[in-house]
Structure 1
């Protein structure tokens, strides 16, 4: 008998142990099944320990809510709330699977206060908390079959891996609604989501009224947030997914480092913030918030006006677009800009008028594009300007990289001028507004022209006399090589590029000697026309052949590129780089002298069927190898780390033996050897050869040159230009090769 009692006691202890294990298992599991209940005080934890779901009370409140928060982060950071409209009054609530298979929150009387309201195929369901922070309801027999997820029903927080639906047929997506106050999770009066019309953009609404918007998405950034270029985690994370089987696309955000905790949330006061968890300092670091400045508030200055935060406080921040004036001048003077601006002169909208009376366009630079723009598809015969001109309701147009042609047929709303970044937009104006507010009288024009002519004549005569006097003292004959130039770290170069930089010890040639060598820049000696000047062949008297790049004296175009070549290429020495022999800097004349390449540029052979045969496969291989050696020297082996930024067939010159030499360093940039990449708002180069991240985002690095080199290799192998496939189904040589490589 005693043995029976011992066995009974042992069995009871085991049952209690199993029950205790069951309770512990429930509180530490990442899922809830039909037979489990999460009571107030218990919780679910994601498999990786990042997130937790359970009951909580906000600060200074006794009400109980079911929510999701970061595990082991203090203070508690809640990212999702279930029963935000029906809080529990005590600690008797529970989270469980209901008889119909839905996940529900019930009070102490087992009354449902919140439900997933899904339509499961059966009641055999399970709820699980994923490592992303997503709470999902799925079939217990097929965990990949989801009926509901918290990511599709967010509250105030956007987490990485969450998807935001972009569907023009459904209209605006007010997906995120903040708390009513800092300590009240009930829905507030603001919302944040996506406006899918035109090019999609993020919008914050106050009720149905807009408070802030991000500007259109251009496949890389939201154009109204130019500082996205400078926040690496920000720019690289957002993606617009390919259409699903229903044709719907989604915005997603993926962190570069999956171990980072990063979140976006809309505050109770309608401000959107981005945070990253600082593991060392153990706090949330604010990366950005919007709106953050006066001009970021929606339509701060009214319709047809521009807001500029770089100006002084007050009315100086707001200005009407050229051709417009305040609707209510007295209100404008009192810094009330709500009335906005209006046209001074109505549009004519007719092409049958004389030129000075037709509507035209005024270009505004570095702008946040107005709201409510439409994206218009174009064909090869129609430009974006044509579309706008033909539509009498069109007030402006813009050609935006990554989007295409946009036009505005409504009033121009919410325009901001940026210090950096932004877009060009063309504002439609009456012809009389394009030349100024008032046409000057004819006699003023006549007197001004005559006066300018006489002044110019006097200056020209004085300069000619001064030039003759100076060159008598410093005559540089052409008969001998040593006399063609004077080798000094002297005034012409230092004046041009500044004494503060390390200027090269470069030969400086006289204008007369270069003019004599090129036959006074005779037309028969013209080798070609470059983007920043004309190139001539020259011969010094001793038989040395040169190539002379002459920068136009009437324009400042190319001056920065000219300086760049002096500072860069003179310091570079490699058999696969064109050698700079000297320069000429005199009055308005600026010229660079190079070694002469008798076979000119690579593109003359590659893309000319009559000459292409001279490039056999061995020679093409040697040309590719030579370019690679030159590029390796620029990136790795030279004293300076150089990014060329304009590598293309026309910038590869060929010597007598068809050896390649890289030329044209006007757009090149010097890198620190520890530097990986840089940004620029001035994207220069040749489309078709430019890497996507450079063309769209202004980010350039060694990889930019490598991309251009890859395009060049394809052209050398195929004998076809990259852009020769434009208009075809492939779009480019790269697309053509990728398509058939995939097929193989």
Structure 2
């Protein structure tokens, strides 16, 4: 028996060795087409790729092979996504020469070119590179084709890149690709649309850089402009409304001066971003949403009538919100009587009064003619065909240059670009609903007379009123001069220094020039912290004279600008509005509070400026701005996956816990809302805007105010109705924010279409029915953690209970959020009816979730 098994084993071993030897020969031959061969990303000379076989890039991101688009039966060689969206083709080789059947082959020609062959061996497509001579047979291994993880198909000959698909794009712009322009030959690298969804042949539309229009991206229909991006200012294309900087769009410009070439690179986060030019002429920025397994359209142009190139003709503006959308610029009239013609002014507008230099005379009817002037237009997509004056360094110089040239029609001085002057007709002018630039339109002096006359007429009553008031003040001072002398003189804190008192009377801010501001806490034996004091001139320089291009946002306190300090540090500059009645008090609070508070989830105050009537705060710059700009924008909320949202919720909770308990001050924010949550470059939350905040002593529990200041939708019932506020007021606001983050909906505007419930009532109903997933933002519903979502909604509903003492403290909220076990507290239904005693006399910190006060009346039972 042993010999039988021994003989059998020897026989099988011999067979196994033969099989292994054959496999080794197959592997050494490098044939990826052998049945059962592992996926590879490359071919070498002598190998080919037949229909039905594919190459897969490293990391399994992209795949190369044969495909049939849509309902077509034609076969093409293309590249598509392997790891997701396999039906999304990003590049096509033989787009104008399809194969009729599945007998095609991708191979190498004798001279090293990459070719697509029919079953009969006919070449239908070639990489068409110039090779001096056919490769010797012994150098065939020097030719290699590789599909890279970026989606770039690269042909290497003798170790050098001879051809790559990124240099021959079709309709898709992938991260790492470039839109290039050869400055010597003006040869443009274009992206071209498919003819239709079923036909990848070259269509009617193309995208690229216009050789005659500098740093603008153009979309053409044939040879006719269809849309343009506006000039590049170093961060954004100024002709795209509300375009955000490179951290989302991923563009950068590179000039290769030695090669005489200019490229726009697309450097997005990863391969899940792409731009595609559709067959109907729309350029789209698409982002893959893993939760919904679909492409999310983040950006598209042109989609409105005014976004189409020069819809209204020369010297006319186009405004999507107006009806009709076209209007002549000031000082211009329609070129023809029939103003409207099928949705566009085909002939545009003409100037009503010639410029002074065009009239060849300096007087009209014996009266000296007024000099030309400028009319400021705001929120403008600047006209096409401007000239850039690189030697002009300020707006005044730009204005003088335009005024000295009779052919100049308008000028603009924009951040990041400089002086632009138009010596040709003004075309393609779009008035944005927000954003845009200022355009100074040149007009004859008589076109500006109405404005000047109105100003003079308005000045007369103002001057007369001022004289009357001044006279009255002089009389009153003389009449009560005795009492004025008896008024006690205020003690000076520091001679020559500016001083500001806080509402508590225990904080003093002194601006000891130059260099620092001192925050003195008289309750802490004069403990002092120094804060940098910046000059107003340095703030003006940092913000480009508070340019609209630098504007980040605006609230009741005034505008916030992005700035760049002399050392290169990016900052956010909050300029207190002189028209805001709350402004000075907000300024005092923010300087006192934020200078003392240090936490990773609180925005950091870097310095301030006090100069005459100017009061300015300088903060660290948050590149992703505020949470609401993502959460409530259908185009951006895809960036907030569930993990990011949960981290934001936890970060806000920890920041509030620090304010309420862990800082040496006990601070109540009083205006906590989504727009006051800023996001840094890693999407970490930071609580901002402490203008309404109040400091409590450790033994204080609650307070009231006659001045209720906050934002409806986030204000607790006791604060909105009675002016009572405590740490539980912030807890209520946090609960609203938490539910908004989970749902992606705004409490102040949400109304259930059938049940007439607001967001809080809708959340309670679904939670009570064990249907919490229905409440979750659809964009994250498939990828979120049900346990974490349930825990968050439970915590949010506990926070928004009507009675302040029923709400948890922030320490309890943090424990709930970080716990891995289900919540053990159950909320009451928010009824939105405030009782008279909404904040009990007992310390709110002793009332944990679920505790019910002895004198509380339960009006509705929880049915969970």
TM-score, with structure 1 as normaliser: 0.63
Contact 1:265 1:272 in 2 (8 A): yes
Give the C-alpha shift of residue 51 in structure 1: 0.5
Question: What stretches of structure 1 of length at least 5 have no aligned partner?
Answer: 485-492, 494-502, 508-528, 533-555, 575-631, 652-662, 681-699, 704-744
Matched, 1:54 2:65: yes
Is residue 635–residue 641 contact of structure 1 (8 Å, CA) maintained in 2?
no
Q: 1:320 aligns with which of 325, 328, 335?
A: 328
Judged with a 3 Å threshold, the aligned counterparts in structure 2 of structure 1 residues 151 and 646 are, in CA distance, closer, same or farther, namely farther
Superposed displacement of residue 419, structure 1: 2.7
SS at match of 2:585: helix
The whole-number CA distance in structure 1 between the counterparts of 2:38 and 2:608 is 61
Equivalent position to 2:357, from 340, 344, 349: 349
Q: Distance in 2 between matches of 1:280 and 1:104?
A: 39
Counterpart check, 1:567 vs 2:625:
no
Q: 1:418 Cα shift?
A: 1.8
Alignment of 1:307-386 (within 5 A): 307-309=318-320, 311-312=321-322, 314-315=323-324, 317-332=325-340, 336-349=344-357, 353=362, 356-378=369-391, 383-386=397-400
Are 1:130 and 2:148 counterparts? yes
User: Of 411, 436, 445, which residue of structure 1 is paired with 2:450?
Assistant: 436
Aligned to 1:33: 44
Give the alignment partner of residue 616 of structure 2, picking from 667, 671, 677.
667
Q: Deviations over 1:251-295 (max 9, x none)?
A: 111123x4x511001000000111111223322111111112222
In 2, are the aligned partners of 1:174 and 1:191 still within 8 Å (CA)? no
Matched, 1:678 2:625: yes
Give the secondary structure class of the aligned counterpart of 1:228.
coil
SS in 1 for 2:598: helix
Matches within 5 A, 1:429-508: 429-436=443-450, 477-481=486-490, 504=503
Query: What whole-Å deviation, never above 9, does each CA across 1:491-525 have from its counterpart, x for those lacking one?
Result: xx9xxxxxxxxx94579xxxxxxxxxxxxxxxxxx
Q: 1:180 to 1:449 in 2, by over 3 A?
A: closer
Q: TM-score w.r.t. structure 2 length?
A: 0.55
Q: Judge conservation of contact 1:477–1:483 (CA < 8 Å) in 2.
A: no
Greater displacement, 102-111 / 284-293 = 284-293
1:297: which partner in 2? 308
1:193-342 to 2 correspondence within 5 Å?
Answer: 193-229=208-244, 232-234=247-249, 237-243=250-256, 245-256=258-269, 258=270, 260-309=271-320, 311-312=321-322, 314-315=323-324, 317-332=325-340, 336-342=344-350
Per-residue deviation at 1:405? 1.5
Question: Residue 408 of structure 2 corresponds to which residue in structure 1?
Answer: 394
CA distance in structure 2 between the partners assigned to 1:90 and 1:125 by the alignment: 28
Structure 2 SS opposite 1:666: strand
The alignment's C-alpha RMSD in Å is 4.5
Contact 2:625 2:680 in 1 (8 A): no
1:425 CA drift (Å): 1.6
CA 467–90 in structure 1, closer or farther in 2 if over 3 Å, else same = farther
Q: Could you tell me how far 1:439 is from its partner in structure 2?
A: 7.5
Residues 330/10 of structure 1: CA separation in 2 closer, same or farther (3 Å cut):
same
Partner of 2:595: 633
Secondary structure, in 3 states, of the residue corresponding to 2:180? strand
Q: State how far apart, in whole Å, the 1-side matches of 2:459 and 2:292 are.
A: 69
Matches within 5 A, 1:519-668: 559=578, 564-570=583-589, 572-573=591-592, 633=595, 636=598, 641=603, 643=605, 666-668=615-617
Write the distance in 1 (CA, Å) between the matches of 2:403 and 2:179. Answer: 36
Give the Cα separation in 1 of the matches to 2:257 and 2:176: 16
What SS class does the counterpart of residue 155 from structure 2 fall into?
A: strand
1:634, distance to aligned residue in structure 2 (A) = 6.0
- Quote the offset at 1:321 in angstroms: 1.0
C-alpha distance in structure 2 between counterparts of 1:261 and 1:218, whole Å? 26
- Asked whether the 8 Å contact 1:369–1:425 carries over to 2, the reply is yes
Contact 1:97-1:126 within 8 A present in 2 as well: no
Q: Give CA deviations for 1:119-159 in whole Å, capped at 9, x if unaligned.
A: 246634211111100001112x42xx111110000000000
Q: Verify the 8 A CA contact 2:275 2:284 in the aligned structure 1.
A: yes
- List per-residue Cα deviations over 1:368-410 (Å, max 9, x = no partner): 1111112122167992223323333221111122112211122
Q: Name the SS of the counterpart of 1:109 in structure 2.
A: coil
Gaps of 5+ in 2: 1-7, 136-141, 494-499, 507-534, 539-574, 628-677, 682-864
- What's the counterpart of residue 418 of structure 1? 432
**Deviations 1:175-199 (Å, cap 9, x if unpaired)?**
1111101111111111111124344
- Distance (Å, rounded) in 1 between the aligned partners of 2:390 and 2:490: 60
Distance (Å, rounded) in 1 between the aligned partners of 2:83 and 2:456: 77
Q: Following TM superposition, by how much is the alpha carbon of 1:171 offset from its aligned partner in structure 2, in angstroms? A: 3.6
Q: Secondary structure at the match of 2:615?
A: coil
- Return the offset for 1:483: 13
Separation in structure 2 between the aligned mates of residue 208 and residue 217 of structure 1, nearest angstrom: 22
